[in-house]
Amino acid sequence: MLPCSRRGSDGHDACLLPESQRDVYQALSGLDHLYRPGLSGKDESCPIDEQELGQWHYLVTDPKGIQPRQEPMYSSKDPAKPKRPMGAVLEISLRRRSGWTRWLQVGEEEWLFDISPKDRKVRMVEVELQKGSWDFEVSVAELKLYPIPGAKNSSGTMKLGETFTADEKVRPRRSRGAFLHVAGTEHWVCDFLAGQQQLRRLDAKEPDEEGLSPLVIHTVVDERPEEEEVEVGEWKYIVLDPKGVTLRSHPTYDKAAKLKDRLEEGEIVEILERRAGAETVFLRVKTTEGTRGWAFTTQPGPGSFLRLLEVEVKSCNLYFQVLKRSHLRRRCSFAEAAKVGRTVEKGQLLHVIRRLEVGGTTCLQIDSGEWLVCPKDQGAFVDGPLEVRKMHNEEAEVRAADAVALRKGPTELPWALTKKVLLPGSKVLAIRRAHLHGEMWMEVMQLGGLSGWMLASDLQLDFSISSLPRRNR
């Protein structure tokens, strides 16, 4: 579906950064903890899923900054306003969730967003902003100072044993730890970096309860604090990563825990448990084939992007008519490998049993198990839901003046014409009726297996279902 990259959002390859810069650069790349997105993302015409009035603070994490919008639409950039730079903490008064994107209003005429509706990259994260006075002692050989939270280049250092006062804390929500502003300076520090606690509270009566900062990348679930959020239940997620996702034996990023089992792009999986990690949510997966393992929602490191997204899969019993010839797929993906080798034709009637929306695309699962994937930016693929009803095998008689050729679907397009013919006066059983574009169609069958669609006006039933005027042929 959407492209992924190992490069950071500023275009740098994280693997080529100096080690001293890489930790902080990776740390701020994706702090979307347990955020529960909706169904669609990029499409700007999708409805607002949720709106909230209040007061929140968000931290800009994109190294390139973020351009304000005039309204909550990706294409409405406001060139008159400067970019909000990385490290800026902004006060938000209104939030609107639309798909995986949460639109954020700053002031009265400025809009930003947390997750890009275009490429799923994390641009801003919600934080708690605290101001006060806290005393700390450096507990590492060298503590790097930074001009803003998450800057790549340090602006100085402090040595082991040095003390300072912090007058501001910026703590990402649903995480532990904080960025600390050094009082009387323009410097910031991280309390935990590269797997090591860097500071010790001097004014705390109890041992430091700040815990691990969200800057740690490699989460070890077995050593998680008791307060870590764990949810048990049932959810549906869709795989967004075009490269697929390899399951792990337990909730960790460690490659050594990888299993042989994989999830492919567009696959819908059942989630039995969710655990908050340092930069993501770990998911205990159960596939339709019974495969089990662990995955995670957000790829850590530079250029963080969504790999799995929570979706609402709606069961239904609806009928749609195809408007353009389309390929059927075994999963909700445009990948060539997802095609099943057969198509649906224009005018064909589809019985849809499940549907979902994601990233501005509607996915319809038909009764034979395949999916029809319908992106909104390519026009309408189907018409419906339509009025289609079962007829309980009502007896009927062909009353046309000439023989009637049965059709594969309720349409007069050439592809639907079959060699099956019903003679005038033939007895049939009416199976289903469909009212399409002012005409009534009937699906009929005879003993022996002869079946197909015909206009209801060519049938005589025990009731007036075919009272529509007959057309001249």
Both tokens assigned to 91: 């006060």
Domain 388-466, classified CATH 2.30.30.170, yes or no: yes
Contact in structure between 8 and 14 (CB atoms under 8 Å): yes
> Which pLDDT belongs to residue 176?
55
Contact in structure between 252 and 278 (CB atoms under 8 Å): no
The CATH number assigned to the domain with range 224-309 reads 2.30.30.40
Cα–Cα distance for residue pair 147/125, rounded to 1 Å = 19
Give the confidence band of 109 by pLDDT, cuts at 50, 70, 90.
confident
Q: Is the pLDDT of residue 45 over 60?
A: no
Q: Is the pLDDT of residue 320 over 90?
A: yes
The CATH number assigned to the domain with range 31-122 reads 2.30.30
| DSSP structure string for 412-426 | -SGGGEEEEEE-TT-
Q: Is the pLDDT of residue 122 over 90?
A: no
> pLDDT tens digits for 229-252?
678 888 899 888 888 889 988 888
Cα–Cα distance for residue pair 324/293, rounded to 1 Å = 39
3 state DSSP class of 159: strand
> Which pLDDT belongs to residue 322?
92
Give the confidence band of 40 by pLDDT, cuts at 50, 70, 90.
very low
Q: Is the pLDDT of residue 208 over 50?
A: no
Average pLDDT, the chain: 77
Q: Is the pLDDT of residue 15 over 50?
A: no
**CA-to-CA separations, 25 to 19, 28, 52, 63, 455, in angstroms, rounded:** 10, 6, 31, 9, 66
Mean predicted confidence (pLDDT) in 369-385: 86
| DSSP structure string for 328-342 | EESSS---GGGEEEE
> Which pLDDT belongs to residue 413?
92
Among the CATH numbers 2.30.30.40, 3.30.300.30, 3.40.50.280, 3.40.50.720, which is that of 128-201? 2.30.30.40
Q: What are phi and psi of 118, to 5 degrees?
A: -90, -45
Q: Which of 45-49, 186-190, 342-346 has the lowest mean pLDDT?
A: 45-49
Contact in structure between 280 and 296 (CB atoms under 8 Å): yes
Q: Is the pLDDT of residue 371 over 90?
A: yes
> Which pLDDT belongs to residue 72?
84
> Which pLDDT belongs to residue 32?
30
Cα–Cα distance for residue pair 7/9, rounded to 1 Å = 7
Mean predicted confidence (pLDDT) in 449-456: 87
**Kindly report the CA angle at 126 between 270 and 217, in degrees rounded to 5?**
65
Parse the chain into domains and list their residue ranges: 31-122, 128-201, 224-309, 314-385, 388-466
CATH architecture of 314-385: Roll (2.30)
Q: Which among 125, 113, 123, 124 is positioned nearest to 74, based on CA atoms?
A: 113
Q: Is the pLDDT of residue 281 over 90?
A: no
Same fold for the domain at 128-201 and the one at 224-309? yes
> pLDDT tens digits for 323-340?
999 999 998 888 888 888
> Which pLDDT belongs to residue 318?
92
Give the confidence band of 195 by pLDDT, cuts at 50, 70, 90.
low
Give the confidence band of 49 by pLDDT, cuts at 50, 70, 90.
low
